Structure 1
């Protein structure tokens, strides 16, 4: 099930003498909204209902920050346009972090060694997760080397900006186990599995 996350940022009442002047801007994650439809009207209605449920005054909202998907950013019927009915002061801003992630994604494709690295990381993930046999070799290598077994390889996704870090970190933390498992598979096995392990080991 796809989910829409809701985060709010606000400035406490400046007339309140108890306000900490050093930390004026507050940010809170309010929750997820399960989605069955993904059209602009459904998304906008869900956002309004969610905020009303928590008694957040919509007329006080001055900024709407979404990614650049057309359903959110469309100038005629995007979510931000529909929300203006309830939030007349709301100004749409394309999420800077999302744009940065897209720029990093394009950069990683253009720089050869970065593109090669993420390609190999993706192949390693597939190799050790799509087969129970290779996964057993990987887990055994972790045990033999005294590594944390709960640490698994991760798949990176274009739209999730933190996934590259988790994918890289997983490879770094499990690198000795990856090498041992690939070596054991290439030596013990035969056929395509051993060949693929040997090919990954050469990289």
Structure 2
């Protein structure tokens, strides 16, 4: 427990680029035995996985058997960034509009007062930055909720993007982006928090991929209940209909599924680690031999009736 407590407190710190000397000092200061480190999760940056000075490279010199995992949350973020040009243009316009209002204190104040006078449910937009990519769904949903107020404000400011809110095709694409980013946000949040194992997260991603395939099938039949903002937009508009935007939505869903498969392929390792859910009944030959002596330790565990009783009462993540 001391090892992991020290390790956790250290790794929460802001670590500068690690040279060999600094790394040795790091090990010595906290008296860490890297032989006890079975796996490491990284964001895939050069600082972490660089072949010469990356943190993982230094760990591998101390423990060649350590398992390196690219963070599934980070991979989901990367997979969701690819947009075809027409959708990317709409997203860029929306972000530019939001930041025009929010980045200037006077504009933000005037917009807030105008929403109050109009009796709007919301009186502020949510600020966007690449750091806050997770909140894109909420940001776009707020833009749609306040589209009338934003249009009036932009016309008063003589902004070049004011006419976007009279473009039914632009609004329909914005509505779809709001829906799909909301789904991605929900997936991401569902993968975070306590008591989630790598196996749990992997299963959620597999389920999301199946949903993408299902949504494409339903879209082909004219069913878009999975996209409530788009559905409401098309019902309220007499200038645009589902066939006008069907190909754009279908192409994006297909591209998103391809990107999810590319960044998060069906991972055999996840299935290999699923033994943790039934550690006392799994056949030891099914758990692999990545860690020397692990199968023998598992046999000892399966023979311990006290631990078996404790296992039945514990959550998987606490074992």
Per the normalisation by structure 2, the TM-score is: 0.40
Is 2:94 the counterpart of 1:125?
no
Residues 92-103 of structure 1 aligned to structure 2 (within 5 Å): 92-103=68-79
Query: Which has the higher Rg, Structure 1 or Structure 2?
Result: 2
Of 138, 142, 151, which residue of structure 2 is paired with 1:173?
A: 142
Aligned to 1:32: 12
Aligned to 1:74: 50
Aligned to 1:65: 41
Q: Tell me which moved more, 139-148 or 72-81.
A: 139-148
Is 2:87 the counterpart of 1:114?
yes
Unpaired runs of at least 5, structure 1: 1-7, 9-27
Alpha-carbon distance in structure 2 between the residues aligned to 1:121 and 1:31: 37
Unpaired runs of at least 5, structure 2: 171-319
Is 2:19 the counterpart of 1:41?
yes
Whether contact under 8 Å (2:102, 2:125) holds in the other structure is: no
Alpha carbons of 1:75 and 1:179: their partners in 2 closer, same or farther (altered >3 Å)? same
Q: Tell me which moved more, 70-79 or 177-186.
A: 177-186
Whether contact under 8 Å (2:18, 2:55) holds in the other structure is: yes
SS of match in other structure, 1:145: coil
Aligned to 2:121: 147
Of 159, 165, 168, which residue of structure 2 is paired with 1:195?
A: 159
> What is the deviation of 1:178?
4.3
> What is the deviation of 1:121?
2.4
Greater relative contact order (Cα < 8 A, sep 6+): 2
Residues 157-168 of structure 1 aligned to structure 2 (within 5 Å): 157=130, 163-168=132-137
SS of match in other structure, 1:34: coil
Alpha-carbon distance in structure 2 between the residues aligned to 1:29 and 1:154: 32
> What is the deviation of 1:185?
4.4
Alpha carbons of 1:92 and 1:31: their partners in 2 closer, same or farther (altered >3 Å)? closer
Whether contact under 8 Å (2:98, 2:127) holds in the other structure is: yes
Whether contact under 8 Å (2:128, 2:139) holds in the other structure is: no
Q: Tell me which moved more, 60-69 or 163-172.
A: 163-172
The structure whose residues are more often strand, as a share, is: 1
Alpha-carbon distance in structure 1 between the residues aligned to 2:79 and 2:160: 32
Whether contact under 8 Å (1:66, 1:93) holds in the other structure is: yes
Per the normalisation by structure 1, the TM-score is: 0.59
Aligned to 2:278: none
* Aligned residue-pair number: 158
SS of match in other structure, 2:99: helix
Whether contact under 8 Å (1:65, 1:92) holds in the other structure is: yes
Aligned-residue Cα RMSD (Å) equals 3.6
> What is the deviation of 1:147?
2.8
Alpha-carbon distance in structure 2 between the residues aligned to 1:124 and 1:184: 10
The structure whose residues are more often helix, as a share, is: 2
SS of match in other structure, 2:68: strand
SS of match in other structure, 1:194: coil
